[in-house]
Amino acid sequence: MTVKAILERKGHDVFTLGPNEKLSEAIRMLADHRIGALVITNGDRKIVGILSERDIVRVVAKEGAAALDIAVRSAMTPKVKICNENHTVNEVMEIMTRGRFRHLPVEKDGLLDGIVSIGHIFLRNSISGRPPDRETRSSSATMRRRVNGVISAVMEPFKRSMTASTVG
| Residue 144, pLDDT score | 61
Distances, alpha carbon 7 to alpha carbons 1, 31, 44, 120, 132, in Å: 11, 23, 21, 9, 19
Instruction: Collapse the DSSP code of 11 into the 3-class scheme (helix H, G, I; strand E, B; otherwise coil) and give the result.
Output: coil
Residue 65 to residues 30, 53, 71, 72, 73, Cα–Cα distance (Å): 17, 15, 13, 15, 17
Q: Check residue 165 and give its pLDDT.
A: 55
Determine if the pTM surpasses 0.85: no
Give residues with Cβ within 8 angstroms of 162, minimum separation 6. none
pLDDT score of 154 = 67
User: Which pLDDT score is estimated for 72?
Assistant: 97
Neighbours of 65 (CB within 10 A): 15
Residue 140 pLDDT: 53
Contact 59, 75 (CB under 8 A): yes
pLDDT value, residue 136: 47
Query: Across the beta sheet with 37-41, what order do the strands follow?
Result: 16-17, 37-41, 47-52
Strands 16-17 and 103-108: unpaired
The residues, any chain, with a CB within 8 Å of residue 22's CB and separated by 6 or more, are 68, 69, 70, 71, 72
List, for the chain, all residue ranges whose pLDDT scores fall below the cut of 50.
124-128, 133, 135-136, 139
